[in-house]
Amino acid sequence: MSDVAVTINGQEIVANKGELVIDAAERHGVYIPRFCYHPRMKPVGMCRMCLVEIDTGRGPALQPSCMIECTPEMKVDTQSPVTKKAQDGVLEFLLINHPLDCPVCDKGGECPLQDQTLTYGPGESRFVEEKRHHEKPIPISDLVLLDRERCILCDRCTRFASEVAGDPLISFLHRGNETEVNTFPDDPFASYFSGNTVQICPVGALTALPYRFKARPWDLEATESTCQGCSVGCRIAIQESRNEVLRYLGVDADPVNWGWLCDKGRFGFEAVGAGNRLRDPLVRRGDQFSVVRWSDALHATATAITAALGSTGPSGIAVIGGARLTNEDAYAWSKLAKGLIGTDNVDCQLGDGLPASAVLGLPKATIDELCAPGATVILLGPDIKEELPVLFLRLKHAVQNDGVKVIEVSSMPTGFTKYASVSIRHRAAEANEAVRALLDGIPAGKDGGGADARVLDAARALVTSGAPLTVLLGRTSLSEQPDAVVDAAAALVDRVPGVKFLSGLRRANVHGALDMGLAPGLLPGRTTLAAAGGWFGRVWPQVPTQTGLDTTGILQAAAAGHVDVLILLGADPLADFPDRTLAEQGLAGARTVIALDTFLNESAQQADVVLAAAGFGECEGTTTNIEGRVSVLNQKVTPPGSARTDWIIAAELARILGSDLQLESVDDIRDEIEELSAAHRGLTVDVLAKMAYGDGVVVPLPSEPAPGADGDGDADGVGSEASDEAGDEASDEAGEPETVGADLERPGPAPIELERTDALEAPPIDAYSYRLVTGRRLYDQGTLVSQAGHLAGLAPGTVLRINPYDFDRLGVAEGTTLPLRSPRGLVEIEVHTDREVPRGTAVMFFNQPGADAARLIDATARVTEVRLETGGPS
Interface residues with another protein (CB under 8 A) are 162, 167-176, 182-185, 187
As measured in angstroms, the least distance from the Cβ of 146 to another protein is: 13
As measured in angstroms, the least distance from the Cβ of 174 to another protein is: 5
Half-sphere exposure at residue 633, Cβ-oriented, CA atoms within 13 angstroms: 27
Coil/strand/helix, residue 730 = helix
As measured in angstroms, the least distance from the Cβ of 142 to another protein is: 17
As measured in angstroms, the least distance from the Cβ of 356 to another protein is: 42
- φ, ψ for residue 9, nearest 5 deg: 50, 45
CB 837 within 8 A of CB 769: no
Using only the alpha carbons of the chain, give its radius of gyration.
Answer: 28
Task: Tell me the pairing of strands 865-868 and 629-633.
Answer: unpaired
Q: In the complex with another protein, which residue's Cβ is closer, 187 or 660?
A: 187
As measured in angstroms, the least distance from the Cβ of 168 to another protein is: 5
Q: In the complex with another protein, which residue's Cβ is closer, 140 or 439?
A: 140
Coil/strand/helix, residue 67 = coil
Report the C-alpha gap between 446 and 534 in whole angstroms.
Answer: 46
As measured in angstroms, the least distance from the Cβ of 161 to another protein is: 9
Report the C-alpha gap between 278 and 863 in whole angstroms.
Answer: 37
- φ, ψ for residue 285, nearest 5 deg: -125, 100
The CA–CA distances, whole Å, from 784 to 24, 173, 610 equal 41, 36, 19
Q: In the complex with another protein, which residue's Cβ is closer, 178 or 761?
A: 178
* Residue type at 248 in one-letter notation: Y
CB 520 within 8 A of CB 554: no
Reading phi first (left if > 0) and then psi (alpha if -120 to 50, else beta), residue 422 is in: beta
As measured in angstroms, the least distance from the Cβ of 379 to another protein is: 22
As measured in angstroms, the least distance from the Cβ of 845 to another protein is: 23
Please list, in sequence order, all residues whose beta carbon lies within 8 angstroms of the beta carbon of residue 662, skipping any fewer than 6 positions away. 668, 672
Report the C-alpha gap between 209 and 684 in whole angstroms.
Answer: 41
As measured in angstroms, the least distance from the Cβ of 352 to another protein is: 33
DSSP string covering 159-202:
HIIIIIIS---EEEESTTTT-EEEEBTTB----TTTHHHHHH-S
The CA–CA distances, whole Å, from 682 to 313, 513, 673, 745 equal 37, 19, 10, 10
Q: In the complex with another protein, which residue's Cβ is closer, 174 or 454?
A: 174
Q: Which long-range contacts (CB under 8 A, 24 or more apart) does 178-184 make?
A: 178/132, 179/153, 180/134, 180/148, 180/151, 181/146, 181/148, 181/151, 181/153, 181/157, 181/205, 182/138, 182/140, 182/146, 182/148, 183/140
| Cα–Cα nearest to 36, from 90, 89, 79, 74 | 90
Q: In the complex with another protein, which residue's Cβ is closer, 418 or 809?
A: 418
Q: DSSP code of 339?
A: I
Q: Summarize the chain as % helix, strand, coil (round to 5).
A: 30, 20, 50
Residue 665 burial by Cβ neighbours in a 10 Å radius (0-12, 13-18, 19+)? middle
As measured in angstroms, the least distance from the Cβ of 157 to another protein is: 12
As measured in angstroms, the least distance from the Cβ of 196 to another protein is: 17
Q: In the complex with another protein, which residue's Cβ is closer, 31 or 184?
A: 184
Q: In the complex with another protein, which residue's Cβ is closer, 196 or 345?
A: 196
As measured in angstroms, the least distance from the Cβ of 72 to another protein is: 25
Coil/strand/helix, residue 129 = coil
Q: In the complex with another protein, which residue's Cβ is closer, 42 or 809?
A: 42
Q: In the complex with another protein, which residue's Cβ is closer, 186 or 758?
A: 186
As measured in angstroms, the least distance from the Cβ of 240 to another protein is: 36
User: How many of the other CB atoms lie within 10 Å of CB of 173?
Assistant: 12
Q: In the complex with another protein, which residue's Cβ is closer, 187 or 828?
A: 187
Q: In the complex with another protein, which residue's Cβ is closer, 191 or 581?
A: 191
As measured in angstroms, the least distance from the Cβ of 189 to another protein is: 8
Coil/strand/helix, residue 598 = coil
Q: In the complex with another protein, which residue's Cβ is closer, 167 or 714?
A: 167
* Residue type at 479 in one-letter notation: S
CB 526 within 8 A of CB 511: no
As measured in angstroms, the least distance from the Cβ of 171 to another protein is: 4
Q: In the complex with another protein, which residue's Cβ is closer, 161 or 566?
A: 161
As measured in angstroms, the least distance from the Cβ of 162 to another protein is: 8
Task: Tell me the pairing of strands 592-597 and 527-528.
Answer: unpaired
Q: In the complex with another protein, which residue's Cβ is closer, 115 or 167?
A: 167
Q: In the complex with another protein, which residue's Cβ is closer, 17 or 175?
A: 175
Q: In the complex with another protein, which residue's Cβ is closer, 187 or 753?
A: 187
Q: DSSP code of 639?
A: P
As measured in angstroms, the least distance from the Cβ of 153 to another protein is: 13
Q: In the complex with another protein, which residue's Cβ is closer, 189 or 333?
A: 189
As measured in angstroms, the least distance from the Cβ of 158 to another protein is: 9
- φ, ψ for residue 564, nearest 5 deg: -85, -45
Q: Cite the beta strand spans of 491-534 per DSSP E.
A: 500-503, 522-523, 527-528
Q: In the complex with another protein, which residue's Cβ is closer, 168 or 825?
A: 168
Report the C-alpha gap between 452 and 455 in whole angstroms.
Answer: 5
Q: Cite the beta strand spans of 519-599 per DSSP E.
A: 522-523, 527-528, 565-569, 592-597
